[in-house]
Amino acid sequence: MMVRRRTLVFFTQVYPPDPAAVGQHLADAAEELARRGNHVIIFTADRGFDDPSQRYSSAETRNGVSVRRLPFGSFGKSSIALRLASGIFLMIQEVWRAAFLKEIDAVIVSTSPPVGPIAAVALSRLRRIPLKYWPMDVNPDQMVALGNMDSNSPAVKVFDWANRIVLRRASAIIVLDTMMEKRLSAKADISGRTTVVRPWAPEEPLESISHAQNEFRKEHCFGDKTVIMYSGNHAMSHPLTTILMAARRVRDDPRLLLAFIGGGVGKTEVDAEATIAEPASNVVSLPYQDRSVLPQSLSAADVHLVSLGDTMPGIVHPSKIYGAMAVGRPILLLGPRDNPIAELLERADIGWRVSHGDVDEAERVLRAIASSSRSDLAAKGERARGLLESIGNRDASCARVCDILEE
């Protein structure tokens, strides 16, 4: 008897070649599910999330995954109203298109756009199929914590009501850490349906490339400087003000260079610092790099900077730390003591932590890093790589996610 292969539908606003981390994670899981023999269909926007002028093909097959891109699904990130409008337009189209598919065995959704899970609930009820929920952040909590929405506003109350519907409907929920699990548990009873699977750097596994052989480092004239790198989305939930203020104080030390790679609404502050008092600035700003370049760019750093806002634990989880650990680099964490990333640093001597607003301590740490020998930094990096292997690398984490999505 022939067994029909399962058809799994993903609803998302972002998907490669868009560089957003949510899309990269979904692509890793979707491609693994396709490799296992499933029919995987992605419904997503036809324009870039950061840059809506970037347009992608309306339909293609990427590594065995059927990708169907829809219009009016991304108007950029210039305002909450535009982001909400694009999310609603996309949500309506996704439900409409998926409703006419011949066979669907499950619908899978994350949190880009934030209203996307409502579309998944609608399809789940319409087609009487399981809903699998994989939140990469928690809203409206994030908007409230950032001061963009009032906790008592009608919009927040409606959003939380929708969250409760999604959480109650989902047959399986994958959360990024125990703090996120606790936050979602406060919204609805999710016991027995929740699994904690840490995110991974989409570029894992990575080969660590030595500075002498690193073309990215040569191309950008890093020379023999000690490079502290931030790579990824410059979101308001990952504030960088403290480290940029400290960078001004250490301009007298020619050994240090701070490189910021990526995009996002928080990049404006970095760009302003990178162009001030040139050529005296010790800050370099570069755009997102192609995924094929990431082994070179991440290895070009001596230390990787990871930031998490004081109110963000349990709301977001910065996966960029795992790419840094994969290439064997120590971590400079800018964030509160009580968060999952700080817990990793406490497991082994793999870096430093600085609180937001403590510019004096940030300056002290930057000067300490500049004075550290290459061998000391390399030893911290090797411990970071070893820790990553002990907690589970990309392949192990992705496989666990796919097992849940297939159940």
End-to-end CA distance of the chain: 21
Whether residues 127 and 41 share a domain: the answer is: yes
Q: What's the CA angle centered on 230, arms 112 and 24, to 5 degrees?
A: 30
pLDDT level of residue 203 (50, 70, 90 thresholds): low
Whether residues 255 and 336 share a domain: the answer is: yes
- Domain assignment present for residue 330? The answer is yes
Whether residues 366 and 290 share a domain: the answer is: yes
Residue with tokens 């699994």: 195
Percent of the chain whose pLDDT exceeds 70:
96
pLDDT score of 278: 58
In which domain, by residue range, is 320 found?
211-391
Range name among 35-44, 197-206, 386-395 with the lowest pLDDT average: 197-206
Q: Decide if pLDDT at 3 tops 60.
A: no
pLDDT score of 206: 67
**Pick from 80, 126, 320, 48: nearest CA to 335:** 320
Whether residues 141 and 26 share a domain: the answer is: yes
Three-state secondary-structure class, residue 67: strand
- Domain assignment present for residue 217? The answer is yes
- Domain assignment present for residue 12? The answer is yes
| Pairwise CA distance, residues 115 & 13, whole Å | 10
Whether residues 44 and 129 share a domain: the answer is: yes
Cβ count near 164 (within 10 Å): 13
Contacts of 155 (CB under 8 A, 6+ apart): 140, 149
Is the separation of the CB atoms in 384 and 345 below 8 Å? no
Whether residues 251 and 174 share a domain: the answer is: no
pLDDT tens column, 308-321: 999 999 999 988 89
Whether residues 89 and 70 share a domain: the answer is: yes
Whether residues 239 and 263 share a domain: the answer is: yes
E-assigned strand segments in 239-314: 256-263, 283-286, 303-307
- Domain assignment present for residue 204? The answer is no
Number of domains in the chain: 2
Q: Within 13 Å, how many C-alpha atoms sit on residue 189's CB side?
A: 1
Contacts of 331 (CB under 8 A, 6+ apart): 303, 304, 305, 306, 321, 324, 325, 341, 344, 345, 350, 351, 352, 384
Is the separation of the CB atoms in 48 and 74 below 8 Å? yes
- Domain assignment present for residue 205? The answer is no
**Pick from 118, 120, 114, 103: nearest CA to 43:** 120
Whether residues 113 and 56 share a domain: the answer is: yes
CATH (domain of 59)? 3.40.50.2000
pLDDT tens column, 280-311: 679 999 998 887 888 899 999 999 999 999 99
Whether residues 91 and 219 share a domain: the answer is: no
Q: What is the DSSP letter of 212?
A: G
Whether residues 189 and 330 share a domain: the answer is: no
pLDDT tens column, 235-283: 899 999 999 999 999 999 999 999 999 988 888 899 988 887 555 679 9
Q: What's the CA angle centered on 392, arms 35 and 343, to 5 degrees?
A: 140
pLDDT tens column, 51-110: 788 899 999 999 999 999 999 877 666 667 777 788 888 999 999 999 999 999 999 999
- Domain assignment present for residue 267? The answer is yes
Is the separation of the CB atoms in 91 and 84 below 8 Å? no
Whether residues 52 and 165 share a domain: the answer is: yes
Cβ count near 286 (within 10 Å): 17
Look up residue 293 and give its two tokens: 């370049």
Alpha-carbon distances of 65 from 13, 24, 28, rounded to whole Å: 16, 13, 10
Is the separation of the CB atoms in 183 and 140 below 8 Å? no
pLDDT score of 367: 97
- Domain assignment present for residue 304? The answer is yes
Predicted TM-score (pTM) of the model is: 0.87
